[in-house]
A and B are shown apart, each in its own frame.
Chain A
């Protein structure tokens, strides 16, 4: 099967599912409150976008995801480099990092709301906290598992520790670090939306809660669609930059 045909099959499956869903709701007269048809959801979405209802919520969630990711990226990368490079720091800090990850982070959300109010900050911090861990783990692994032969080469060439860290360990670990970032991106979306459930008046997550309490099921589905589209877009951008950064690496390391 050639590539075009395979792509066609991918779209075909999606279309079949949507048609089946549409027919299901029509034939069995399923109420919009239980399961709205794709066309109802689509109309709701178009209306909401046209009259500007969804835009501020979309921007809000996007900003939370973005800043949360940045916090997670900086802390995870910085921490990972420190913990990966200096064994004694890893020995002291890693158990506490693990404990902080084992505590269900969403259980901390009420605390964050008490500390930072109902604005975007609790959501950003929650997202950052969730993104941080995969970044940290992959960075530690990448830095710590550098090919010893290459480290020996750098030592023989008289490289200092800083050079070994940034010219060798960081670059050779880049494929792993970036795969950690991809995981972080997916988790960031979950983090932002779920922390909006708990305490936010703006954002796609809060719309879902509003939809639930006002029995506006089409709005819930429309929000889910928007969240998914946003997720796919962010993920694609990350994969694009990843491909760009890894263009010099053997293809085995590449995600797509």
Chain B
């Protein structure tokens, strides 16, 4: 346990945004600490994408302030890792080159970098595919490459925007366990956006329910931090899932 265990990575202070022409904008506070895993859940159009835009610094907050490691966010935060809904790999590059892209855009690639890639690919179980092209890979393998690329800069904060939505159920379960394991190794804080309540409960320490451009409710998930596949069938797990699903329905009914 290092001294930075409780350090806040990203903090939203009185931030508000809204798509519609409302006169009144709800504001909210939220923060994430080193190593924490937060899932964001909500119906389409609840503001999850806007939230990610703000959190990554691609869009700037009109209402409220956002701090990354104590400093006010004024533009894109390049230190964070980002995984999109779609793996967004570059067709003409090998797996290795795709993972090294974030570094290649900043500086020359060193032997240390190449070593790091090999380690990452081993952790993610795709080491043997390092010289393949993205179009030769399956959906799950492409997701793994996208995660490796997001982790290559050793980010302290990783953002994922429904990364497993297009995968089949079994691969999705596998990827969830792999993601948790990998983030625990690197002690990475994670913001995970999803539509899937079970996925949110399985992965996170905290589930934030978004509605109408605001965090409407937060749920602390007090399950064993070292998640095993069996947890999915425990009664606690089901209880959390049910509570959050009901809350999700309630919130979406209120706002039509």
Could you tell me which A residues sit within 8 Å of B by CB distance? Answer: 147, 149-150, 152-159, 163, 167-168, 171-172, 174, 248-250
Contacts and interface: CB of A to CB of B under 8 A. Distances in A.
A172 B90 contact: yes
A153 B104 CA distance: 14
Interface string B88-109: 1011110000000110111000
B102 A157 contact: yes
Interface of B: 56, 58, 76, 78, 80, 82, 84, 86, 88, 90-93, 101-102, 104-106, 133, 135
B56 A156 contact: yes
A232 to B, nearest CB: 29
Contacts of B135: 250
13 contacts: A149-B84, A149-B88, A152-B58, A152-B84, A153-B84, A153-B88, A155-B58, A156-B82, A158-B105, A163-B105, A167-B104, A248-B92, A248-B93
Given A149-B84, A158-B76, 9 more contacts: A150-B88, A153-B82, A155-B76, A156-B58, A158-B105, A171-B90, A248-B93, A248-B133, A250-B135
Contact of B105 (A147, A157, A172): A157
Nearest to A154: B105
A249 B78 CA distance: 28
Contacts of B93: 248
Contacts of B88: 147, 149-150, 153
A250 B91 contact: yes
A249 B56 contact: no
Contacts of A159: 105
A158 B102 CA distance: 8
Given A149-B86, A250-B135, A158 B91 contact: no
A205 B106 CA distance: 53
Contact of A158 (B78, B84, B86, B133): B78
A149 B133 CA distance: 19
Contact of B92 (A156, A163, A171): A171
Given A156-B76, A158-B76, A249 B101 contact: no
Nearest to A160: B105
A166 to B, nearest CB: 11
Contacts of A250: 91, 133, 135
Choose among B86, B91, B102 the residue with the greatest number of A CB atoms under 10 Å from its CB.
B91
